[in-house]
Amino acid sequence: MSVSKPPPPHSHFPPSNPSSHLSLPPSSSSSPSPSTPPSAAGPPSPAVPPPPSPVKISMQEHFAINVCPGPILPIPQISDFFPRFHDFPITPLPPREKQVLKDKDKDGDGNGEKDRKREREQEENGEFADSDDDDTYLGTLEFSLLFDQENNCLHCTIHKAKGLKAMDSNGLADPYVKLHLLPGASKANKLRTKTLKNTLNPVWNETLIYHGITAADMTTKTLRLCVCDMDRLGRNEFIGEVRVALKKLKEGESKKYNMGLERIAQTREGNSQAVDPGASVVEEERGRILVSLLYVTEKSSLTVGIIRCAHLAAMDSNGYSDPFVKIVLQPDMGKKSKYKTSVKKKTLNPEFNEEFTYEVPHDQLPKKTLEISVWDYDLGMSNDFIGGVELGINAKGERLKHWFECLKYKGKKVEYWHTLTQQGAPSSD
């Protein structure tokens, strides 16, 4: 028996009889005729249930039958097939083909493993490599290096670059090359070439020289050559770089390089500097000074030459210094024992070429100590101490060797590079 549901109030079907769930059509056999007497009708018989009426449902219930939406799949967008069109980095959706292959593997199909192997081979061969900025061809740089140990100089000749990456809207670039010695302060040992306008194949043929480079530096230093694009309205753009370990360069041999530019992860240069375990960090950051000593027996005088400084520490906010050098022969002999060079403005590699003479007997020199200090000149303020070095009988290493050679070889000018340190800073300038 099927029971009829009462229709909702807004049903399009007419309401059924409220007194019964069964709807019976009128029939003459269901009720006695008025013309038949009750005695003729016979005894009353039990009521026979009518056949079940059809189920009546509303239109809303009709549309709700057998509805099972299941999981809603996203509609593929054009950006799913071309991830680089996204304005922000996202994780690309897995390809539908690979998912089908996995389903086949579960069903026992052995072709999935072959397809995955083929995909790995294609990725290793670079067929699926994306052409983002990090993987594009950046160009090549041709240069040569020469180490002059006698003069403690490293000559870097930048010849040309070829096939540089276009950085400007006109499809060209304004390239230049800057050099750094690592480890070391970036501004103190930075050299750069001139800028060539609107070219992707620049030819410089320019030689840059690092002074104060010793044989010990050649075993620990690395030369970094960066090619950049000059931008007048904004910040200069980095194109690519190459690095050469100087320990592979032989003394007196000019070696030519032609290397492809790389986009190495950019970090602060101070963090990327490796520190030599045998050298002090303070000594490396202060800079170096080239000093000459000459004792003239005829005049009983000591001539001290301040030739140049290299890789000085920056003391001003602009990243440079205004250096000058002071020399004092101890024990103090008054004004005759103190000298000062001229001031070189806004530089970390000043060249002085100045000489100063002390009248002192030769037998008194072993008792003397020559104090050399480098200062940064500040107008209206106290000068900043950059670094210093002491030459004398109590010195060690190269400083002691320099002093002994001056005493031994009379009449011969002896030149040495010395590392500036923060020890022995004078109490006043």
52 or 293, which is more confident? 293
Whether omega for the bond prior to residue 331 falls within 30 degrees of 0, making it cis, is yes
Which residue type occupies 247? Answer: K
Q: Angle 111-124/96-106 helices, nearest 10 degrees?
A: 140
Look up residue 362 and give its two tokens.
Answer: 């030769």
Q: Over 70: is that where the pLDDT of 271 sits?
A: no
Select the CATH number that applies to the domain covering 139-261 from these four: 3.80.10.10, 2.40.37.10, 2.60.40.150, 3.30.465.10. 2.60.40.150
Tell me: the pLDDT tens digits for 159-173? 999 999 888 888 899
Mean pLDDT of 2-8: 51
Helix (H, G, I), strand (E, B) or coil at 382: coil
Nearest C-alpha neighbor of 202 from the set 249, 261, 244: 261
Query: Going by C-beta distance under 8 Å and a sequence separation of 6 or more, which residues neighbour residue 207?
Result: 155, 156, 157, 158
Cα separation, 76 vs 47, in Å, equals: 66
H-type alpha helices, 281-408: 281-286, 397-408
Helix (H, G, I), strand (E, B) or coil at 364: helix
Output the CA angle 323-272-315, nearest 5 degrees.
20
Q: Over 90: is that where the pLDDT of 267 sits?
A: no
Answer for the pair 24, 30: CB distance below 8 angstroms, yes or no.
yes
pLDDT band at 376 (very low <50, low <70, confident <90, very high): very high
Q: Over 60: is that where the pLDDT of 219 sits?
A: yes
CATH number of 288-419: 2.60.40.150
Nearest C-alpha neighbor of 81 from the set 95, 99, 102: 95
The CATH 2.60.40.150 domain(s) of the chain lie at 139-261, 288-419
3-state helix, strand, coil in the chain (%, to 5): 20, 30, 50
Mean pLDDT of 326-355: 88
Q: Over 60: is that where the pLDDT of 237 sits?
A: yes
Q: What are phi and psi of 401, to 5 degrees?
A: -65, -40
Tell me: the pLDDT tens digits for 9-57? 554 444 544 444 444 455 444 444 444 444 444 555 556 777 766 767 6
Tell me: the pLDDT tens digits for 58-106? 776 666 655 555 566 677 776 666 655 545 555 555 555 544 444 444 4
CA atoms lying within 13 Å on the CB side of residue 241: 16
| Helix or strand holding residue 102 (H, E) | helix 96-106
Q: Report the pLDDT value the prediction gives residue 313, as an integer from 0 to 100.
A: 83
Answer for the pair 186, 178: CB distance below 8 angstroms, yes or no.
no
Answer for the pair 373, 425: CB distance below 8 angstroms, yes or no.
yes
| pTM beyond cutoff 0.75 | no
